[in-house]
């Protein structure tokens, strides 16, 4: 919960604080997005329904004609 609060705080106030410092803002957004992405990744062995590591393979109808 505490980590999610920090992310929300940065998203809401980050734009106004770092409006003139684009490079700092971009670096912080990159770090926060990487950490959120790492937090949401779930190993396939834990829950196959939540994990999205494997792309869906859908058959193409036009190839079968």
What confidence tens digit (pLDDT) does each residue in 10-39 have?
Answer: 555 555 555 556 666 677 677 666 665 555
Residues spanned by the domain of 24: 2-63
Q: What is the pLDDT of residue 30?
A: 73
Per-residue pLDDT at 63 exceeds 70: no
Q: What is the pLDDT of residue 57?
A: 54
Q: What is the pLDDT of residue 20?
A: 57
Q: Pull the structure tokens for residue 38.
A: 């790492």
What's the length of the chain?
65
How many structural domains does the chain have?
Answer: 1
Residues 6+ apart with CB under 8 A from 19: 25
pLDDT digits (tens, 9 = 90+) for 40-59: 555 555 555 555 555 555 55
Per-residue pLDDT at 1 exceeds 50: no
Q: What is the 3-state secondary structure (H, E, C) of the chain?
A: CHHHHHHHHHHHHHHHHCCCCHHHHHHHHHHHHHHHHHHHCCCCCCCCCCCCCCCCCCCCHHHCC
């Amino acid at each position: 919960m505490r980590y999610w609060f920090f992310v929300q705080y940065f998203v809401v106030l980050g734009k106004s604080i770092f409006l003139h410092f684009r490079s700092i803002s971009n670096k912080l957004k990159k770090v926060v997005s990487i950490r959120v992405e790492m937090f949401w990744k779930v190993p396939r062995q834990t829950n196959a329904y939540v994990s999205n590591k494997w792309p869906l393979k859908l058959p193409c109808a036009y190839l079968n004609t």
